[in-house]
Amino acid sequence: MKKSWRMLLAMLLVTAMMMTAGCGGSADTGGGADSGGEAGKAAEVSFSYWGGDFDKARMEKIYEEFKKVHPEIKVNLIQIPSDGYEQKQLATMAAGNPYDVVQLAESFYSYASKGTLEDLTPYLERDGIDTSAYYDAAIRAYSYQDKVMAMPMRMGTMILLYNKKLFDQHGLEYPSDEWTWDDFYAAAKTITDPKNSIFGLGGVGSWWASYQTWVYSYGGSLLSEDRTQFTLDSPEAKKAIQTIQDMIWKDNIAPQASQLLQGVDMWTSGKVGMIIDGPWHILSSQANIKDFDWDIAPVPKGAKEASPLFSNAFAIPKLSKNKEAAWEVVKFWTGETGQKILAAEHGEIPPLKSVAESDAYLNIGDNPPANFKSQLTSAQRAFAPQATVKWDEINRAADTYLGQIFNEQRSVDDALAEMKIEVDRLLEEAKQLEQ
């Protein structure tokens, strides 16, 4: 985390304390028209989010439905570019004038650990909302010290996409929900034909969700459960990382950089038997694959059933002046109506299980993939990222050292030993920041 971020967080805490001391309890209870304000006066909620035109259209569609239920609450939807989004949030919080609802992802942990977010647990309990109605990983991803600090809007997991044509050519059975890494490796080796630029698996990178697909499934982890110790050097994690290196350099079932075809998408062009990546490939594959049939399955099983979760959620800043109205917004967007509007896109998974498991999400007509329902199996196996206040820096360290392993064939032991020194330092800094 950059120094400027830490300074803004410190400013924010000072601001919060000053407001609490000068305004009694108003900062905690909300001083807007929606709670304790003048009777009959409409509440106004500022709602910040990132994304493109697709996201904007979804947000406006949900708002149209929200107005039918809550005509007394005006919602100002504020679309902020992804670049600079965090800086904008921190600046408004430090100034004591945050947006009433904010969209967050992995950076959520930095806000929650500094006490800048409203605990939503009392609101959930008061309104009888059972968090078990949502996928567990999505709730855990936005919980801090056993308190729900944000409600999940959408989620995705790593999935396996496979080329049926290449499987059929070799007489291979298609991947299933019960596939193991041994099954995967055997099929990938059979499909691989480097001389003709055909590989069993598309590339594997140092992005956290990519390498951790193997690490967690093999029984390892990046950090300890309390997120205070580096554990990527455990025997289980090392075995997973060595396996990835071997897939590229020993057995060559995944392409080396020099084997990639310039300007060619290896997956949509039919050059790889399988890829393990996010659900965004579903819509992309539907639009771009013309020459072969394809389908999806959960990532293979190892010592554990595990698939990395990436998601986003909506939170209410502690200093919001319209908390009750903001809560109605969060509740609606992440409730049944908002989730059904998301589900109609048939892309990312609605965290609300009743919607995800309904035709609103699962009925994709005659479009591929035939096994679209396996998305739900992946959601059940999902695990939340081990975010810390040093999440960005730790990921940069992983990108450096794992990149050396995967791209330069550097020794797993040597690279992880150096990575441990750097991550241990970052974890110590994180500990100091959270005190």
Over residues 99-139, the pLDDT tens digits come to: 999 999 998 999 999 999 999 999 999 999 999 999 999 99
d(CA 118, CA 30): 11
Over residues 399-411, the pLDDT tens digits come to: 999 999 999 889 9
Amino acid making up residue 383 = F
Helix 391-408 × helix 208-217 angle, to 10°:
80
One domain, residues 342 and 316: yes
Q: Are strands 272-277 and 199-201 parallel, antiparallel or unpaired?
A: parallel
CATH of the domain at 16: 3.40.190.10
One domain, residues 216 and 184: yes
Q: Does residue 370 fall inside a structural domain? A: no
One domain, residues 420 and 295: yes
Query: What does the pLDDT average to over 293-302?
Result: 97
One domain, residues 389 and 320: no
Q: Give me the pLDDT at residue 27, please.
A: 30
Query: What does the pLDDT average to over 222-250?
Result: 97
Q: List the structure tokens of 118.
A: 């409203």
pLDDT-derived band at 434, boundaries 50, 70, 90: confident
Q: Is the pLDDT of residue 2 over 50?
A: no
Classify the phi-psi angles of 380: left when phi > 0, otherwise alpha if psi is within -120 to 50, otherwise beta.
alpha
Q: Give me the pLDDT at residue 30, please.
A: 32
Percent of the chain with pLDDT over 90: 86
Q: List the structure tokens of 232.
A: 């990527």
Q: Is the pLDDT of residue 5 over 90?
A: no
CB 240 within 8 A of CB 218: yes
Q: Is the pLDDT of residue 38 over 80?
A: no
Closest of 324, 275, 280, 233 to residue 45, by C-alpha: 324
Distance of CA 209 to the CA centre of its chain: 9
pTM of the model: 0.88
Q: Give me the pLDDT at residue 41, please.
A: 59
Percent of the chain with pLDDT over 70: 90
Residue range(s) defining the domain that contains residue 56: 3-153+312-364
Q: Give me the pLDDT at residue 39, please.
A: 38
Half-sphere exposure of 85 (CA within 13 A, CB side): 16
One domain, residues 177 and 207: yes
Which of 18-32, 276-290, 307-321 is the least confident region?
A: 18-32
If one counts the domains in the chain, the total is 2
pLDDT-derived band at 19, boundaries 50, 70, 90: very low
d(CA 347, CA 281): 9
Q: Is the pLDDT of residue 270 over 50?
A: yes
One domain, residues 101 and 249: no
One domain, residues 94 and 123: yes
In 186-238, where do the E strands start and end? 199-201
CB 78 within 8 A of CB 87: no
Over residues 59-73, the pLDDT tens digits come to: 999 999 999 999 999
One domain, residues 360 and 392: no
